[in-house]
Every structure is written in C-alpha cells, then in structure tokens.
C-alpha cells in the first residue's frame, strides 16, 4: 500500500539505531526525507550514507541530546532551514539499565536520568517542534512509549512513571493541534527485538511470557509507526497502539 507521504520530511529522534533506525528505513522506503537526531555524530554520518544509498531520499543528521534544550532548539532551526518537517517521531532513550521495581529504585541519579531523557526530553521536543507543524494544515506526531502505559510491568518502575507523563502530554497535545490537521498518537511496544533488547537478562523467559511466544521485530513496530504517519491515518488521533504480541491485559 502506498502510504501517500512521498516527498514529506520526517524528524526521527533516536533514529540512528534500534527501533528509531527501523522507523527511518520504513519512512525512507515510502519516499520520506529524513532529519535524524541522536548524540553520536559518527553513527549519524553512517546512517545518512546508508539510508541515502538504499532509498534515494535526502537524509540530514543532527547531533544532539534530547535532554539538552539548546540541542533541541538547534534541531528546530535546522529543520526550518530545510523547509520544515511534517512528521515527527519522538523515540526517547531507554531507561537506565538494568530496570528495577519501584522499591528497588533507590538511586536518585537513575530517577534524574530517567526523568531528563524520557519525560523532560520528550516534552522539550513536543513543545518546540509541534508548533512548527501547525502552519501547513497537515502533520503527524508519533511517540514510541511502552506497553507499560496501559499495564505497569515488573521491573519497569522508572519507565512506567515517566512514560505516563509523556502519554498525558500527548493526549493534551492531540486535542490542541487537531484542528490544524496534526494527529498525535503513541505506539507502545513490549518485547520487540533490537540489538539492545537482545542483551537483556531473562530474555527467553520474557519471550515465553508473550502470548505469541515470540519477540516482535523492529520492522513490525516501524510499519505501525509508518501507518500512523501516513495519509491514511488522518482521522486517528490521541490513541495508543500496542505492538506487544497481545501481552497487555487491559481491555482498551
Ligand atoms: N524494544 C522493546 O520491546 C521496547 C519496549 C518498550 C519500550 N521501548 C523503548 O523504545 C525506545 C527505543 O529502544 P531501542 O532499543 O531502539 O533503543 P536503542 O537501541 O538504545 O537506540 C536508541 C537511539 O536513541 C539515541 N539516543 C540515546 N540517547 C539519546 C539522547 N540522550 N539524546 C538523543 N538521542 C539519544 C541513540 O543514539 P546515540 O547513542 O548516538 O545518542 C540511538 O539512535 C526506548 O525508549 C525503549 O525504552 C522498547
């Protein structure tokens, strides 16, 4: 299916590896030009080269930290100087590793890191970039959160607490930008295989806990994101779509 977004430009936060990179590939395959934001400039340069060569789209790397306001301001300016972006993918860094239960999380530094990278960073990106998307009458914002926004998971305390805040901000924003043709949705994964996920302990047990008895692929997640970023998803907003092999036990 042609997603109807050829020629659009997308900003992908955390787009140089893992799920973010898979999302870059899915959008590039639809003819979407990319602005990829991540910290490591060398990794970004290699992404630019590979994505341009494989998909023939324009790719601009912007090196910065999601938690740093001046980096996010620079991202906004660079996107404006390229003519603006109509698609924004908010893919925040992972929580501090290893993940722990709430009463085990006694290290304030880990809470601060989790707050800065997952909530503060996401809010910075949304507050600074969403207003730039309201002028053209068409926009798509998709955030990668976690299945824990619907059902708290063991050992995910930091992630569960801050992603709830991200989810609340997305719902607010969805209502505020809807009349400008901008949709705002979240994709909430669990047990989706990435190079980082593959290093987690108890991997086999975690996979057996998934009703489908397998891990998801980053391509399955990226295809869901690309659909929500597409022309066809224009009347879907304020929603959370789980990509978790049926693991979440909530009704809706
Ligand atoms: N896989 C799953 O099943 C699952 C489940 C629930 C939630 N998630 C969430 O999905 C997200 C992506 O996971 P992943 O496994 O793809 O992560 P990953 O492999 O660790 O990739 C993270 C990406 O973000 C960039 N990044 C890291 N810290 C950054 C920062 N401070 N500022 C800007 N960019 C930064 C990295 O590049 P640099 O290092 O160069 O900055 C890289 O491009 C995470 O939030 C994860 O918790 C995944």
Q: Is the pLDDT of residue 194 over 90?
A: yes
Please tell me whether residue 92 adopts helix, strand or coil conformation: coil
Whole-angstrom distance, CA of residue 92 vs CA of residue 234: 24
Label residue 171 by pLDDT band (50, 70, 90): very high
Q: Per mean pLDDT, which range of 60-69, 89-98, 129-138, 193-202 is the poorest?
A: 193-202
CATH class of 9-242: alpha beta
Q: Is the pLDDT of residue 251 over 90?
A: no
pLDDT for 63-86, tens place per residue?
Answer: 999 999 999 999 999 999 999 999
Q: What local confidence, expressed as pLDDT, does residue 200 receive?
A: 84
Residue of the CA atom closest to atom 47 of ligand 1: 94
Q: What local confidence, expressed as pLDDT, does residue 49 receive?
A: 98
Residue of the CA atom closest to atom 14 of ligand 1: 18
Average pLDDT of the chain to the nearest whole number: 97
DSSP per-residue letters across 93-131: PPPSSS---GGG---HHHHHHHIIIIIIHHHHHHHHHGG
Residue of the CA atom closest to atom 23 of ligand 1: 14
What number does the ligand 1 atom closest to the CA of 244 have?
Answer: 3
Q: What local confidence, expressed as pLDDT, does residue 252 receive?
A: 81
Q: Is the pLDDT of residue 182 over 90?
A: yes
DSSP per-residue letters across 204-247: HHHHHTSTTSSPEEHHHHHHHHHHHTSGGGTT--S-EEEESTT-
Q: Is 186 in the pocket of ligand 1 (CB under 6 A)?
A: no
Q: What local confidence, expressed as pLDDT, does residue 141 receive?
A: 99
**Domain definitions of the chain by residue range:** 9-242
Q: Is the pTM of this model over 0.85?
A: yes
Residue from 214, 196, 216 nearest 204 by CA: 214
């Amino acid at each position: 299916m042609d997603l109807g977004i050829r020629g659009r430009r997308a900003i992908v936060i955390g787009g140089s590896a893992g799920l973010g990179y898979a999302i870059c590939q899915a959008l590039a395959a639809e003819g979407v030009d990319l602005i990829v934001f991540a910290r490591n400039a060398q990794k970004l340069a290699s992404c630019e080269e590979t994505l341009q060569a494989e998909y023939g789209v324009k790719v601009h790397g912007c090196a910065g930290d999601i938690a740093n306001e001046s980096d996010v301001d620079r991202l906004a300016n660079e996107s404006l100087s390229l003519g603006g972006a109509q698609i924004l993918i908010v893919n925040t860094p992972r929580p501090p590793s290893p993940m722990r239960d709430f009463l085990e999380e006694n290290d304030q530094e880990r809470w601060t890191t989790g707050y800065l990278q997952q909530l503060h960073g996401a809010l910075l990106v949304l507050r600074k970039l969403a207003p730039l998307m309201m002028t053209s009458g068409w926009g798509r914002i998709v955030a990668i959160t976690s299945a824990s926004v619907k059902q708290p998971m063991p050992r995910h305390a930091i992630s569960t607490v801050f992603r709830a805040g991200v989810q609340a901000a997305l719902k607010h924003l969805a209502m505020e930008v809807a009349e400008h043709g901008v949709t705002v949705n979240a994709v909430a994964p669990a047990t989706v295989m990435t190079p980082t996920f593959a290093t987690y302990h108890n991997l086999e047990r975690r996979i057996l806990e998934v009703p489908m008895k397998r891990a998801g692929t980053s391509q399955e997640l990226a295809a869901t994101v690309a659909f929500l970023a597409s022309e066809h998803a224009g009347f879907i907003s304020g929603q959370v779509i789980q990509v978790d092999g049926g693991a979440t036990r909530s009704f809706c």
